[in-house]
A and B are shown apart, each in its own frame.
Chain A
Amino acid sequence: MLLGPSLTVSAVLFALGVAGVLVRRNAIVIFMCVELMLNAVNLTFVALAQDLGVGGQIFVFFVMAVAAAEAAVGLAIMLAIYRHRQTVDLRNINLLKG
């Protein structure tokens, strides 16, 4: 019953996450937007698992584990960058820019 609405909400949340990544310049906020996109996809998995079996929910479990690992390592990288450049603003992290 809730499959259609869930997929709609998931699409909106994912698009909001994409917009956040494109609009913001603060690396930590961009990181939070990536988490938002992961959650939108989790919602899709859970919505489809309702009728297609428990596999979708188990995949969400693994997505959460990967997200936790990614958050820990990503934030450690931010700490290292901040220690190096005293900022997490992407305008100042442009070593690879031509």
Chain B
Amino acid sequence: MSPTLIIFWAFAGLAMASALLCITRQNPVASALWLVVTLFSIAALFVLLDAQFIAVLQVLVYAGAIMVLFLFVIMLLNLGRGGPSDIKGPLGLGVAVLLAGLMLVQLLGMHPGGSTPALAPSVMARATAEQGMIPAVARPLFSVYLVPFEITSVLLLAAIVGAVVLAKRKL
């Protein structure tokens, strides 16, 4: 087992364990914090997969902005205090685990799995080495994918307006 693979499985295990804790903790604040751990671990996996720029974005946007928004709303609604459990009873739990398990079997059946030996540096590793970490992503983003990128700004504007309208007490 190569060192890369050991580090990969360490972070993968951390991601899966904290995801499991996230869906089983009763307190929403604990759930959110375990989800932050999952997101950080996934960022580490991104680095191992030659996506350093996406990893930084993951930490900034997901672990930083989105999860702070979640925690802010949880605390604003005062959901952190104890109360009756929101996890479903035995029947609902059984059905949920069965359906999720079926989905897992399906998803795992779609690819061979297992690690193949690295024959050569990957396409992304070569692009990063040639152009640099950020230019390798930024050049196509601002040339081939320019129109989707600009449309994203319209989407974000719509989200801002929508969030303000929905959260406002009275229009």
Contacts and interface: CB of A to CB of B under 8 A. Distances in A.
Interface residues of B, number: 87
Overall SS of chain B's interface: helix
Contact of A64 (B57, B117, B160): B57
A18 B155 contact: no
Contacts, number: 240
B116 A80 contact: no
A64 to B, nearest CB: 5
Given A9-B16, A60-B54, A88-B77, A39 B107 contact: no
B5 interface: yes
30 contacts: A1-B5, A2-B4, A4-B115, A9-B16, A13-B19, A14-B103, A15-B103, A16-B22, A18-B100, A19-B97, A19-B99, A22-B96, A22-B99, A23-B92, A26-B28, A35-B62, A35-B66, A36-B38, A43-B45, A46-B46, A50-B49, A50-B50, A50-B51, A51-B123, A54-B124, A57-B124, A68-B65, A73-B159, A75-B163, A79-B77
